[in-house]
Structure 1
Amino acid sequence: MNYPIPANPQEVVALRQKPVDEELVAAAIAGVIQIARQQGQSLDELTAEVLAEDGWLDSAQRRWLSDIVKQAWESLPSVKIPA
């Protein structure tokens, strides 16, 4: 992968400066999952955030993204990221 997995919210936000491609999206999702785990969030809490109403995605897109996040959560190992 060309992008490292973001270790904090600032690194996730910094991804906005990169051209969007599949690898960037995968890195962003992996980073969000790692950060959520670090903060003690459960998968249910994270998916509730993804499913929350926003101005970016419609409900079908949010459900699709929620499914992707669930799959990634289950397949990514828990990694302790140094502070």
Structure 2
Amino acid sequence: MMEPWGLRPQDIMHAHALSILANINRNKEVRPDPYEIKDFMLFDKAKQPAVDPKIDGKTCEEWKLIFAAEALAAQRSKPLPP
């Protein structure tokens, strides 16, 4: 919260630049209302599907847990160096 770095702030900055570029080049007769930052947000929660899509019957979060468990098991099966 104190240092807002990461994906969301970068997405906002990029969307802001794109909205400026689009507004500079828009045809005011075809589109009288200016573009807004939210029109160019890639990771806007409002645009996300309400239900997580499933792959082989599992959600994205379930796959993350499976991969994390497999990585942990692989790491534990390696012999320790002498």
Larger Rg belongs to = 2
TM-score, normalised relative to structure 1: 0.27
Relative contact order higher in (CA < 8 Å, ≥ 6 apart)? 1
TM-score, normalised relative to structure 2: 0.27
